[in-house]
Amino acid sequence: MLCQECNKRQATLHFTKIVNGEKTEFHICETCARDKGEMIPGTPNGFSIHNLLSGLLEFDPPSGNPLSQSSQTVRCESCGLTYAQFSKLGRFGCSDCYNFFKERLDPMFRRIHGNTVHSGKIPKRSGGMIQHKREVEELKRELHRRIEEENFEEAASLRDRIRELERKIAAD
């Protein structure tokens, strides 16, 4: 999607603003957002991430509001950010938000990155098990190839390594 401001760059910031029940969507690139001081013209008094942020910090916790059952009020139990606030701000409040908003994130990630799953660096310490899991997947693929080649000697040693890794993962 192209930026609605410059029509040149890919839009990377996507906002939805609701004024008097009317929904307006914004899709702009980072450059235009920065240049405009995150102000988007065509809305009353402009529209600023910082204005929204200050509003957010004074946000009252929901009481017995019947609307709080609606899907827009899914809330991160760790930091208190609602999904509606997240989609306005374009920012997560904490890493647990990823979990609480899980169901809704795939379409957004696909729109921004064309993808939903990480395939880069894995941290050494906290990602040790993930590293093992990736290795197991890789070894299983190789095992398949060896069996097809009828190279059973190699296949047996691969199977032992897979078992060993799977024991480590199970013990975690």
> Which residues contact another protein (rule: CB under 8 A)?
6, 8-10, 12-13, 29-32, 35, 50, 53, 57, 78-81, 89-95, 98, 105, 108-109, 112-127, 130, 133
Q: Minimal distance in Å, beta carbon 98 to another protein? A: 5
Q: Minimal distance in Å, beta carbon 47 to another protein? A: 17
Closest CA relative to residue 99, chosen from 77, 115, 121: 77
Asked if 75 touches Zn ion (CB under 5 A), the answer is no
Question: CB–CB of 73/87 below 8 Å?
Answer: no
Distance (Å, whole) CA 73 – CA 62 = 9
Asked if 156 touches Zn ion (CB under 5 A), the answer is no
Question: CB–CB of 38/48 below 8 Å?
Answer: yes
- Beta carbon nearer to Zn ion, 6 or 156: 6
Alpha helix ranges (H) inside the chain: 30-35, 49-57, 83-89, 97-100, 102-113, 128-148, 152-171
Judged by CB under 5 A, the residue of 76, 136, 143, 158 near Zn ion is 76
Distance (Å, whole) CA 49 – CA 97 = 19
Instruction: Determine the angle formed by the axes of helices 152-171 and 128-148, rounding to 10 degrees.
Output: 160
- Beta carbon nearer to Zn ion, 86 or 162: 86
Number of residues that bind Zn ion (CB under 5 A): 13
Which residues of this chain interact with Zn ion, rule CB under 5 A?
3, 5-6, 9, 29, 32, 76, 78-79, 93-94, 96-97
